[in-house]
Structure 1
Amino acid sequence: MREFTVERLGHQGDGIVEGPLFVAGVLPGEVITGTVEKDRIVNPSIVTPSSDRVKPPCSHARSCGGCGLQHASDDFVANFKKSVVANAFKARGIDTDIDDVVTSPVSSRRRAVFSGRRTKKGALVGFHMKGSDTVIAIPKCTVLRPALLEIIPFLEMLTVAGATRKGAMRFAVTETMSGIDIHAEGGKPADGALLSELAQMSVHPGVARLTWDDEPVAAQHTPVLEFAGYSVTPPAGAFLQATKEGEDCLVSSALETVSGAKKVLDLFSGCGTFSLPAAKNAEVHAVEGDKDMVTSLTAAWRMAHGLKTLTAEARDLFRRPLLPDELNRFDAIIIDPPRAGAEAQVIEIAKSKVKTIAMVSCNPVSFARDAEVLLKAGFEMRDVKVVDQFRWSSHVEITAGFHR
C-alpha cells in the first residue's frame, strides 16, 4: 500500500491528497495508507492522526452515510464550514468578515428522510451506507430528535405492507407539535385495499398524519408547526428548517436586518418561516412557488391574532421573478431560495430601488454568486453568519444582510 499525506478537505468533507485523489474519514495533515481505485483511496489506514481527530460520538459513524465528519473535533468542523463559505466568497472576489458558526445541539434534527426495504424477515428502515444503496439501521443516531427514532418501527410496518420486493421506499418524516407527519413515496400503488390497511395501521401512537405519494391516507391529528408562536398546518412533505435552534437563528438575523421596514417582501416564503414573524411589525407579501404552501400560510394568518396584513401568491420565481416596479413597493426583502439560488430574481432586485435585503441560503456557491450581483449594484454585505443545522455533515447554511 502507498503512503499519502492529506493536504486539505474538499467542500463535501472528503480528504484530498496529491493527484488529486479523494479519501473519506481523514483530516488535513494526516499520513495515511490505502489502495488507489480510480480517483479515490479505499480502505485507508491512519498512520499519523491529526490532533483534531476524535472518537465518533455515534456508534453508526463508520457505516452510515449521514455524517461524514464525526471523526473531527467540534472546533475543526466549525472552522471547516466557515472556510467553505470563505472560499466560496474568495472565488467571487468577495472579502468580508464572517461571524462565529452557530451549531445546533446533538439530537436536534426534527425532520429526516429514511429509506425502507423489505427483507426476508420483515423490513429495514434507516439511512444509506456511505457511497451505497444499502440501507442500514440507525437506532442510536445522535443527530435525530428522539421522536423520529421512535417512529422507525411504524415505518417498518409501512414498508412490509406497502413496499415492492425490489424497490426502496422513501419516508420524509417531520416532528410536529401534534405528532409525526409522514410522507411515503416509492411504494405500491394506493388501491382501495392498501389504503384501508394503511389507514388502520395509522392509528398508532405518535403518528399525526400519513400521506402515500400524493394520496392522503389518515390524519389522527392535524400536524401543527409554530412560527413565532403562530400555528401552521403544512402540506405533506413541506420544507421546514432542520432544527428549531437553526430556524431561530436564521429568523432573528433576518428580522434584525429588516427591522424598521413597514412593508416587507418574503420571497420563496414556504409556509411562513419568516413571513409570520415579520408580520408582527410590518405588512408582508409572501411569494412561493408551491400553491399548497401558500394556502397553508394564508390559512395560518387568518387564524392568527395581532399580526399586520399578510398577503401571499403562488409564483415561479425562477421563470417569472418580480420585476423592479413590483419590488419598489417594498422597504425590505427577505429571500431564502433553494440550493440553486435566485440568480434571475437577484438580477431584478439589483435593478430596483430596494435598499435592504436579508438573504438566507443552503449553498455557499450560489449564495456567493448572488451576493456578487448585489455588491456590484451598490449593496454592502454585513452580519454574515454560518448556521450549522446539519451537525457533522458538510452541509452549510448562511445568512447575511445587504444594505445600500
Structure 2
Amino acid sequence: MNLSRAAAAALDDTDPLAGFRARFTGTEDGDTESGTYGRLLYLDGNSLGRLPRETPAALARVVEQEWGRGLVGSWRDWVEQSRRIGDVLAAGVLGARPGEVLVGDSTSVDLYKLLVAAADAHPGRDVLVCCADDFPTDRYVVAGVAAQRGMTVREVDADIDAGLDLGTLAAALDDRVAVVVLSQVAYRSGALVDIAAVTALAREAGALVLWDLSHGAGAVPADLTAAGADLAVGCTYKYLNGGPGAPAFLYVRRELQDQLRQPIWGWFGQRDQFAMGPAYDPADGVDRFAVGTPPVLAMAAVEVGARLSAEAGIDRLAAKGQALTGLLIALADADLAEHGVTVASPRDATRRGSHVSLVHPAAWQLTQALVDRGVVPDFRTPNRVRFGPAPLYTRFVDVWDAMDRFRAVLAEGAHEAYPTERARVT
C-alpha cells in the first residue's frame, strides 16, 4: 500500500463522494485555521458531525416562514415530521421499510420505551441481557428497567478491542431471557457485531433484540429488514450531522408494531390525538411509539442531515469509511508504532465501523497535544485516542496530515508537557 501523501491525494481525486465535502461548513482549506499548524483536521465525526451548509437556511425557513407567518397552521406539516424523516432514514440509511422508523425523542428515552415494550411482550421471562462493555446509557437504562420490574441483568463480557464473541452471547441465552440490548458498533474500538447472526441466536431462544445503532448510523449499513431485526434506536448528531442534542430515531419491525405497547402514554401516540379522548388508545403502526410534541426546529436540522446521507448512499459511505480507517491503521503501523502506539480496533475492515482507536499509555496527554496542533480526535478510557473520519466530508489527505502531526507530537515529545488526566480531574 502506497502511504505517501500524493497517494492519499489521488484517492481524493477519484472519490465518488468528494462533492459532498463542500456542502459542509469548515471544509475549505481557508475556512478554519488552527494557529501555526494550518487547517483544522476534524476527525471526531463519530461524536458530533459537521454543520451542513443547508441547515441554517432550513432552520430560518421554519422560524421565519412556518412559525413566523404560518403560525399554528404550520402544524399541518409539522405533525408529519417524525414519520417523514423516519422514512428518509429507513430507505436511505437503515435498510428498513416505510413506516418502521420514527424520529423525535432522545436515544435514552427511545431505548427505555422499546425495552419496556419488549419486556412486557414476554411476561414469563425475567432476564435482560446486555454487554458489559457497552455504552454507559445502554447499561444504565437496562439496569433501571430491571430494577423497576424485579428482573435480573446478565452482562455478557466482551473484549474491549475485539468486541462481542457470539459464542459467549449464545451461552447467556435461555428461556428466561426477554430482551437482548446490544450496540452494532462498539463505542471504543469500532468492533462490529453481526445483526443478522445475533437476531437468529436470540430468536432461537425466544427473545427480542434491541439494537443501539448510534455509533454506526450514517457510516455503517444496518440492513435491518434483511437481517430480520426486531427493534433499534440511534442518535442523529454523529455521522448523520443533525446537530448537538438532535433528536434520535427508533425502529420497530412492522410485524411487531401492533403487538407492543410502549410505557410513556403521550398524546402524539394516541389513535386520534385531536379528539382529546378520556382514555389512551395507542395509534396503529409506528406512531404508537411517539410521546409528546416533537422538537420542530431540531427536527428540521435532522432532516437536512438525513437527506444528505441518503443521497450519498449508505453503501458508498461504508466503503469510504472502511478505506479511510484502513489508511489510518496503515499509517499508524508505519509511523506511530515505533513510539509505542498500537491499534486497538479490528484490522479486518468487515469487522470495523468507521472509527479507530489507538492505544498509548499517555493517550490523554496525546489527545490534548493533538487538539492544540489542530487535530481533533477524542479520548476514551482507559488509554485510547479515538479517530472518527466521517465519509461525507473527511478526505484521505486529512487522515494523512493528522497522522503526520501525530508522528511529530510523539517524535518531539510534545505531549509530555501536558498534565495527566488524574491531574486534570483533581
Fold match, TM over 0.5?
A: no
User: When the two structures are superposed, what TM-score results if normalisation uses the length of structure 1?
Assistant: 0.35
User: When the two structures are superposed, what TM-score results if normalisation uses the length of structure 2?
Assistant: 0.34
Judging by fraction of residues, say which structure has more strand.
1
